[in-house]
Each structure stands twice: as structure tokens, then as C-alpha cells.
Structure 1
Amino acid sequence: MGKDLKIPVNQRHKFSQPLGKLIAGSREDTISNVIELLKDLKKKNQIINCYLVGDVVTEDFINNDFLRSLVKVSIIDGKTKRNHISLDLRTYFEEIYEMENPESGINPDSFEIFKSIIESNKKTLIKITRGEEDLLVLPLIVALPIKESITNIVFYGQPPITDSKTPIPEGIVMVKVDQSIIKVVKQFIALMAN
């Protein structure tokens, strides 16, 4: 195991920007919009796999029959806005994997762990037992394979950002995983490794 990856203090603003399409609005509105977007993709005969980072996003997907059917992996830490929440997700997932991840950082083992979980093709819940899951969206994206017949999409919650030059509203970020987003994510990871 190498050392934890951390965001450089002078680069924090870069990491608060959404990696994909921001679907802004209330929980109800964003989930309705996500359902609509995914149903449109399904009409194109695409196989869709959804990968989730965050407790609220996971809860919203699992509580909807259509969305639940698309979920492959979910990463949670049992907290939202740093308050503890309780989700019983054992009935949905085939496997539960527990790991630690540093706050505002990435456990370097997560890259291989995620790759192995994705290759297993089992619906897996990854529970962060100490730390937080927020930045694990980065190694998750890098671990996902690019296949022509499958659309892999990562969803994560976007908290409102009001202290930047351009405020960012609350919502869900939808990241279609392709070579260009993987390249961007690898650049973020390189910043954290220095």
C-alpha cells in the first residue's frame, strides 16, 4: 500500500467542479430528470450500468425500481453532510465490501479493489468504515472498462458551492465514462500524487 492521495491545498477549487453533466435541483427533481435521461439511453438499446458514490444518491436509486435495476456498484460512508444516516441495503446487493478511505483523500488500494469488484460483475456495496467516500469517484471512473456495447455511468451528489467565483448549485452529477473523462480524472489523480 502506498501513501494516501490528497488534494493540494492550492488546487481545491479544481476538485469542486462537476466532472460531468450537473443535474441541478431538489432530490425529487434530479431523480426525475435522471430517470428520463436513462430511459432515453435505454431506447437506444444501450446496456447501462450505473455506479454510485454517496449515500443520498444511493438511497434515491435503490428506492426506485427502474434505477435500482441499473445499479452495479455503490460507495457509501453512512453520512450525508457529515451527519450519520442509516441505510439498509443488504437485500439489494450481492456483496458488501468494507474499507477505509481518508477524509479529503484517496486510499491508493482503492484502484485495485474497484477493478476487482467491477470484474466480479456482482452488485456490490462498498462501505467506508472510517473516513469518507467523496473522492472515490476518481479511482472508480479509472477502474471502469470502456466497451462499445455498454454505457457505464457514474453518479454522485454535488453539494452547493457558494464560495467560488462561479457558484455551483446542488444536484446530481452524471458522468458517462469514456476515454476523455478518464484522461481528465488521471490528471486530477496526478495532482494528488505530487
Structure 2
Amino acid sequence: MLRLPEDLRAAFKEPFGPLYTDAERLLADAGTPVVAVGDVVTYHLREAGHPPDVAVVDGQTKREAVSEEIRRALSDPESRRDVANPAGALTDELAACLREALLADGPVTVVVDGEEDLAVLPAVVAAPPGASVVYGQPDEGMVLVTVTDETKAEMRSLLARMDGDSEAFVAALET
């Protein structure tokens, strides 16, 4: 397991890609597969008619339960995987689940018991070049991260600064 040290929290304040307020415009710029991290982002992509290939949700937004409308809209995934992942951490279980979900035939929803906020990092590392990882920037919109060698290197660098065995964590994502 990796844990986010206090001195690394500031690295997550600025978005890792362009910010969108319109899901259809974001989807026009997105590659495939699309990985959504967050309940509200997943909801907006589904409402735009494009369920993400992988969705990582935890039933929360801004540390509060999502609205009943969003909860209902996300309650019927085609394929669901449950995983534990505490706040401020990334578990080996989440890493393995993301890797498997990206290899699955058809959409997969990863339901996190805990918190999914940091899942953007392993999602970018695990996804193939050209993929898109979308996550919410609270009160601003959706961030689109295009998976490239550069964004993978940036996420690996952030993972390396976390407490724990980041080399083993990254190796598990890339196998």
C-alpha cells in the first residue's frame, strides 16, 4: 500500500490536464479507453451517452454522499468489482483491480469502500497510450488526462514520492 504524505498534497491542487464543463465536448477530445475516476464524472459521461470503459466510484463527492439521482444512475453497472482503499492511500488491491478492469471485455465499475480520489495516478500508469483518464475538479468541472509517455512518467514520479513500496506498486500496474 502507498500512503500520501502531507508534503505531497499540494501536488494535487492543480489539474493534470485541461478542464471541461461539458461532457460532450470532453468526449469529443477523449481517446479510448476512457477511465472515469469519481461518481459525478461517471454520471456525466453516462448522461452524455458514453459510459466509461472503467469507472472508479465510492458513493461520495466532496466528502459527502452523492445525490440520490447520481446514486441511482450508477447503481446498475454491467460488471462490478468491489475493492477496499482507505482515504489518502492506494492499495495493491485497487491497483490489481484497475489493471484487470482495463483488460476486461466491456465496461467495468470499480466500487471503492473508502476513497477513490488518488486512483487517477494508477489509472494513468495502467492505461494504454492514447487512453483518457477523466476525474472531477471540485466546483470547477472535469479534467481530461490523455495517457502519453509523459503523463505516465509524471504519475510514476508522484507515486514514487508516496510512502510505501512504489516500485512494486508500479510494477503491478504495468505487467
Fold shared, TM-score > 0.5 on shorter chain: yes
Of structures 1 and 2, the larger Rg is shown by 1
Structure 2 unmatched ranges of 5 or more: 165-175
How much has 1:15 moved relative to structure 2?
2.2
Query: How far off is 1:121 after superposition?
Result: 2.8
Matches within 5 A, 1:154-173: 154-159=133-138, 170-173=140-143
Cα offset, 1:123, TM superposition:
0.5
- Could you say if the C-alpha distance between residues 12 and 106 of structure 1 is closer, same or farther in structure 2, counting changes exceeding 3 Å? same
Residues 69-108 of structure 1 mapped to structure 2, 5 A cutoff:
71-85=52-66, 86=68, 87-88=71-72, 89-91=74-76, 93-108=77-92
**Distance (whole Å) between structure 1 residues aligned to residue 26 and residue 46 of structure 2:** 17
Amino acid at match of 1:187: S
Which of 14, 18, 21 aligns to 1:17? It is 14
Amino acid at match of 1:109: E
Matched, 1:138 2:108: no
Give the letter for the 1:189 counterpart.
Answer: L
Greater helix fraction, Structure 1 or Structure 2:
2
Paired-residue identity, %: 31
Residue type matched to 2:132 in 1? I
| Selected match of 2:43 from 43, 59, 65 | 59
Following the alignment from structure 1 to structure 2, what is the Cα–Cα distance between the partners of residues 138 and 189? 7
SS of 1:35's equivalent in the other structure is helix
What is the deviation of 1:39?
2.9
CA RMSD of aligned residues (A): 1.9
TM-score, with length taken from structure 1: 0.75
Structure 1 unpaired stretches of 5+: 24-29, 42-46, 161-169
Alpha-carbon distance in 2 for matches of 1:137, 1:75: 9
Residue type of the partner of 2:45?
F
Alpha-carbon distance in structure 2 between the residues aligned to 1:79 and 1:17 = 21
Q: TM-score, length-normalised on structure 2?
A: 0.82
Cα distance change, pair 193–108 in 1 and its aligned pair in 2 (3 A): farther
Post-superposition shift, 1:37?
4.4
Match status 1:181 vs 2:151: yes
Distance in 1 of aligned mates of 2:14 and 2:29 = 26
